[in-house]
Amino acid sequence: MKILIIGMGPGNGMSIAKRFGREGFEVLMIARDKTKLKQYGAELMMAGIRHAGYAVNIGRKKAYSALLKQLASEHPDLDVLHYNASAYNPALPSEMDYSVFQEDLQINIGGALQAVQAFVPLMKKRGKGTIFFTGGGSAFKAPPELFSLSIGKAGMRNLALSVAKECAPAGIRVATITIHGMVKPGTKYDPDLIANEFWQLYKQPSKKWKSEVDI
């Protein structure tokens, strides 16, 4: 069994990797920073979890697309695709540099769509697969200082629900878990608790499947 986490990080990403890794999954990771990827790999190795890391900037569409094509070719049997990436650049709508906003959209929405287009055809051929998106409460609140992130999360939510409707007849399960607060250890939004929510959702039988879960 294999899970690909796009947007690997020390919070939700690592907790999700460990939660699924404990269940026997091999963890494939995509992150921008090679040094951090090595650190994540070392941590997973200490936990006895099989893993592989791939460094790419999702904002660089061509390089990211090439990597997705490579991974789809090498792992046509991927069980879980999890899009966990997001761009965080606080700014008011009237003040944000447009080029920054464009790159945010690529990371928050475009990269998710590229991942879906790379792996859904393979999942359709197999008649099974699971796709997860990490959502955020800003999609509903639209705080002006986080408008770019808010648009990204709102777009991702709509993408997730659209993909869920497209893929359900093919036996592919798609869901987004929306986190309505700051991810922080020791709180309701502890990354380990969030990771367990994804695992519990993964274990749900198809008849009880939910395409959207709120935390």
The pLDDT value recorded for residue 205 is 87
Q: From the first residue on, what is the mean pLDDT of each consecutive set of 10 residues in the chain (215 residues)?
A: 97 97 98 96 96 96 97 97 94 94 95 98 97 91 89 94 96 94 90 95 89 91
The pLDDT value recorded for residue 123 is 98
DSSP 84: -
Per DSSP, which regions of the chain are E strands?
Answer: 2-6, 26-31, 51-55, 80-83, 129-136, 172-179, 212-214
Instruction: Name which of 16, 20, 14, 22 is nearest 2 in CA terms.
Output: 20
The pLDDT value recorded for residue 207 is 82
Q: Is 85 left (phi over 0), alpha (psi -120 to 50) or beta?
A: beta
Q: Is 127 left (phi over 0), alpha (psi -120 to 50) or beta?
A: left
Its pTM stands at: 0.95
- Tokens representing 134 are 């990490």
The domains of the chain are located at 2-214
* Alpha-carbon gap, residue 164 to 71, rounded angstroms: 22
- Tokens representing 5 are 């986490």
The pLDDT value recorded for residue 63 is 96
The pLDDT value recorded for residue 206 is 81
Asked if CATH classification 3.40.50.720 holds for the domain at 2-214, the reply, yes or no, is yes
